[in-house]
Structure 1
Amino acid sequence: MTFTTTRGGTLLCAAARSAALYSATLCDFDARRRRRCVGKTTPVPRIRGWWCCSLMKENGYVTSDGIEMSAIERMNKGNDVALILLHGSYHAKWCYLEHFFDYFGYENADDGQNVDVFAMDFRGQGESGMKKDGGNVAGTLERHAEDVREYAKYIRGRKKYEKVFVVGHSFGGLIAQKVFAEDSDDDERVKEAKLFDGMILLASVPPTGNSEMVKRFLKKDLWKSMKITYAFISKQFGADPKSCRECFFSEEVEEKDIEKYMRLINDSSKARLLDLKKLNEELPIVDKSKGRQKGKEKVLVIGGKDDYVVDEEGVRETAEFWHVEANLIEGLAHDVMLDAKWQTVAERMMQFVNSSS
């Protein structure tokens, strides 16, 4: 993998570990991590067992404070729309490669889902680096948001896009909201500085954080809430398939897939994405009047009715903040890009992208 960026007029390049975690069969995860790819465009096989029709390229970047960030992209000639996919806590960019990279980037698609797709690992997650003195927390909300801004600038600097959408899942959705809320408005004078033309939120943490959701879950089902809380504190979902399913997946997902995702989740974070105790100091991300101004037809909010991490009220709160309708899908759990109804989610996303003005 080659990281490239320009800082102070100097081109920075650094080889990093390959993010080729995805083979046609479920291989040993650690062995796959040791594979390296330096500046190559590599065909990456789908986990489901057949080769992608177009090439995916590992192409990360170096942040303004010197952190090597891992990213992967799938680009086709002629596309003028891009999706930048942001993962949530205890996940990494791999969660979008199982289904979304093929669905949105399939070059021979006949129903419109042909866009350039990008996914990054947040610092301290997946294959991305982090500060040596960072302790057990990867970064602040603002630091992660700045990493996304820099990634978006890097992408826009390489190709002219008509539209770029930021897509955020769970706590990645909270980071996406911060970036989008602070992005340049539609004033022609600052249009060139605008990074995003729309935002898609998937089972996202509301702009006020997750504190109220935790309280609601405790009132609704104390025992299950305690189990979920313990799973996140102890990272039990990285070793226990039952706990992994309870936290992230519906009953329709096959057991072999649960075990596969469980191992990937277990190995996805070097440190906690955010310090939840300090997070409240940065919330809410912006006031509702800004949400009304920015929302309009530019925000899509999707959630699952079987989600035990972000509840229906949390999804509605997020939608209300941005003054849009909440899209709640029956039978969908928290990991909407991997769950049994992932295609329903992807179809609604593509409809939104195609209809956005």
Structure 2
Amino acid sequence: MSPELEIFRRSPTGKPKSKHPLVFVHGAFTGAWCWNEHFLNWFADKGFETVSFSLRGHGGSGGRQLRSLASIDDYVEDLEEVVDTLGQTPVLIGHSMGGYIIQKYLEQHTAEAAILMASVPPEGLLASNTMMAMAQPDLYFQMAWLQAIGPHTFLRERLGRAMLSPDIAEDEGMIYFGRLETESQRALLDMMGANPIFLTADDTPAMLVIGAHDDEIIQSELIHHTARKYHADYALVDDIHHAMMLDKNWEKVAETMLEWLQVKLVTQQRTKGNKSAA
């Protein structure tokens, strides 16, 4: 039996822009709270129903005692459970590990559209970890310590600079850092090759792959690679770090996503309408 999940919902403000809810999937070491700081309300105020949830063992969801045993397939099951409550095909938005979960979900399911933010690429973490170990070995070892001991004080400075811009890393960033938690070792192994992705471009919905130009964790080269793999739209945002939904220029990311959503959802709606008329 699946653990009870922590789920947050916001109804659209004013006239709805779309009947398709936005479902936000968080990355490793965090929970639904990372979307609730800005994105959940911001997109609701723009006319979208928004949903965020904590994966099992994260945030306020159940299953904490068995978190280290949770697999990527378990996380896909959590996403399936949330989508089943909606009554409409969702737009899926995933950050980092959340993007990998969405790719696995799309192997067996459909979505109205998908946005991968600073996402683990389809080949997993091997390339990003290798690039990090070569270019930023101090960050590579601190990421390993984060998994081993959790958000310890001595990790904050270097990890903080990788996650957030320097001018907020000392205030809001310290609060965010304290809310991090260790990740499932099994899920991390899945992303190192134990559970590869078999999704093809032919099976993907309309997709935007968006990254941070100077991301030290999921490097911009890998963002571009993922976009090419799925024939997806592609955007890199300047002056922002890996935690794109929390960093100083988060609104620039949200506006890029909104502009893309408005074009794609309106276009798809018109296409479906034309087919119905025919």
Question: TM-score, with normalisation over the residues of structure 2?
Answer: 0.85
- How far apart are the structure 2 equivalents of 1:333 and 1:173? 16
The reply on whether 1:181 has 2:119 as its aligned counterpart is no
Native 8 Å contact 1:69 1:121 kept in 2: yes
The reply on whether 1:272 has 2:193 as its aligned counterpart is no
Residue in structure 2 matched with residue 262 of structure 1 by the alignment: 177
Residue in structure 1 matched with residue 91 of structure 2 by the alignment: 165
The reply on whether 1:95 has 2:5 as its aligned counterpart is no
- How far apart are the structure 2 equivalents of 1:348 and 1:97? 19
Q: What SS does the aligned partner of 1:259 have?
A: helix
Residue in structure 1 matched with residue 78 of structure 2 by the alignment: 147
Native 8 Å contact 1:238 1:265 kept in 2: no
Question: Out of 167, 175, 195, which is 1:282 matched to?
Answer: 195
Post-superposition offset of 1:91: 0.7
Paired amino acid for 2:241: A
Question: Out of 38, 47, 54, which is 1:114 matched to?
Answer: 47
Question: Out of 215, 218, 239, which is 1:307 matched to?
Answer: 215
Question: Out of 117, 121, 128, which is 2:61 matched to?
Answer: 128
Moved beyond 6 Å, runs of 4+: none
Post-superposition offset of 1:353: 1.3
- How far apart are the structure 2 equivalents of 1:200 and 1:120? 16
Residue deviations 1:250-284 (CA, integer Å, cap 9, x gap): 22325211111112224xx5x5274323442210x
Residue deviations 1:155-213 (CA, integer Å, cap 9, x gap): 12xxxx4x6201101101100111123214xxxxxxxxxxx201011111011111111
Q: 1:138 to 1:115 in 2, by over 3 A?
A: farther
- How far apart are the structure 2 equivalents of 1:272 and 1:316? 27
Count of residues in correspondence between the two structures: 261
Q: What SS does the aligned partner of 1:353 have?
A: helix
Post-superposition offset of 1:222: 3.2
Native 8 Å contact 1:303 1:332 kept in 2: no
- How far apart are the structure 2 equivalents of 1:322 and 1:181? 13
- How far apart are the structure 2 equivalents of 1:272 and 1:223? 22
Native 8 Å contact 1:170 1:205 kept in 2: yes
- How far apart are the structure 2 equivalents of 1:66 and 1:225? 33
- How far apart are the structure 1 equivalents of 2:122 and 2:186? 15
Name whichever structure is richer in strand by fraction: 1
Map 1:1-357; keep pairs closer than 5 Å: 65-76=1-12, 79=16, 80-106=19-45, 113-130=46-63, 134=66, 136-156=67-87, 161=88, 164-184=90-110, 196-236=111-151, 240-266=155-181, 272=184, 274-279=186-191, 280-283=193-196, 285-287=197-199, 290-295=200-205, 298-356=206-264, 357=268
Q: What SS does the aligned partner of 1:247 have?
A: helix
Structure 1 stretch displaced more, 253-262 or 223-232: 223-232
Q: 1:274 to 1:104 in 2, by over 3 A?
A: farther
Any stretches of 5+ residues in structure 1 without a counterpart?
1-64, 107-112, 185-195
Q: 1:139 to 1:305 in 2, by over 3 A?
A: same
Q: 1:344 to 1:181 in 2, by over 3 A?
A: farther
Native 8 Å contact 1:181 1:286 kept in 2: yes
Q: What SS does the aligned partner of 2:168 have?
A: coil
Residue deviations 1:61-100 (CA, integer Å, cap 9, x gap): xxxx241111010013753231000111111111111111
**Cα RMSD between the aligned structures?**
2.3
- How far apart are the structure 2 equivalents of 1:95 and 1:223? 25
- How far apart are the structure 2 equivalents of 1:241 and 1:263? 9
Any stretches of 5+ residues in structure 2 without a counterpart?
269-278
Greater RCO (CA < 8 Å, at least 6 residues apart): 2
Paired amino acid for 2:93: V
Native 8 Å contact 2:58 2:64 kept in 1: no
Q: What SS does the aligned partner of 2:204 have?
A: helix
Native 8 Å contact 2:55 2:61 kept in 1: yes
Amino-acid identity (%) = 23
Post-superposition offset of 1:326: 2.6
Native 8 Å contact 2:163 2:242 kept in 1: yes
Residue in structure 1 matched with residue 273 of structure 2 by the alignment: none
Question: TM-score, with normalisation over the residues of structure 1?
Answer: 0.67
Post-superposition offset of 1:240: 4.2
Asked which structure has the greater CA Rg, the reply is 1
- How far apart are the structure 2 equivalents of 1:105 and 1:239? 37
- How far apart are the structure 2 equivalents of 1:330 and 1:264? 26
